[in-house]
């Protein structure tokens, strides 16, 4: 077990919702790889409905749609990342990589040395 591991979670906020975070980035990557929202959801162990709701949330948060869908009756089926969607995913992944460099900092080492391996037991209320 590693002691004092700092976990950074980058989230981009839009109003009261999260426009982008690690899970939504994974959805975008899966859509790009799988070519549909349903296949992306299956690959990530998510229901179609949950995946679709998160895609809809992203599309509503960004100035331009990040995912474009094609109805089942059209020649082009499934879903694709738009150019803005590809840019959003690339920028988010770049920020993730940059944030990983924090683990080389003195502040990270200091916090890691100060944190316990496990928390102390909670005190009874009262």
CA distance 13 to 10: 10
The pLDDT tens digits of the residues spanning 29-68 come to 999 999 999 999 999 999 999 999 999 999 999 999 999 9
Burial class (CB in 10 A: 0-12, 13-18, 19+), 87: middle
Q: Is residue 115 scored above 80 in pLDDT?
A: yes
Confidence of residue 6 (pLDDT cuts 50, 70, 90): confident
| Residue 54: per-residue pLDDT | 98
| Residue 103: per-residue pLDDT | 80
* pTM of the predicted structure, to 2 decimals: 0.82
Q: Is residue 72 scored above 90 in pLDDT?
A: no
Between 12 and 7, the higher pLDDT residue: 12
Written as six digits, the tokens of 101 are 């460099």
Query: Which domains are seen in the chain, by residue range?
Result: 12-114 (1.10.10.10)
| Residue 4: per-residue pLDDT | 59
Return the closest-CA partner of residue 54 out of 31, 86, 72.
Answer: 31
Q: Is residue 109 scored above 80 in pLDDT?
A: yes
The per-residue DSSP string of 37-59 comes to HHHHHHHHT--HHHHHHHHHHHH
| Residue 87: per-residue pLDDT | 98
Q: Is residue 75 scored above 80 in pLDDT?
A: no
Return the closest-CA partner of residue 64 out of 80, 50, 83, 78.
Answer: 83
Q: Which residues contact 87 (CB under 8 A, 6 or more apart)?
A: none
| Residue 108: per-residue pLDDT | 86
Q: Which residues contact 59 (CB under 8 A, 6 or more apart)?
A: 65, 66, 67
């Amino acid at each position: 077990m590693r002691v004092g591991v700092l976990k950074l979670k980058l989230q981009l906020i839009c109003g009261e919702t999260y426009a982008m975070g690690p899970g939504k980035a994974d959805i975008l990557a899966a859509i790009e790889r799988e070519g549909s929202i349903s296949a992306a959801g299956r690959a990530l162990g998510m229901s179609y409905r949950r995946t679709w709701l998160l895609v809809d949330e992203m599309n509503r948060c960004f100035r331009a749609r990040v995912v474009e869908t094609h109805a089942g009756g059209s020649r082009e089926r499934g879903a694709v990342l738009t150019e803005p969607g590809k840019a959003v995913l690339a920028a988010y992944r770049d920020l993730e990589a940059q944030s990983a460099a924090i683990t080389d900092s003195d502040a990270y080492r200091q916090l890691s040395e100060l944190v316990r391996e496990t928390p102390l037991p909670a005190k009874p209320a009262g």
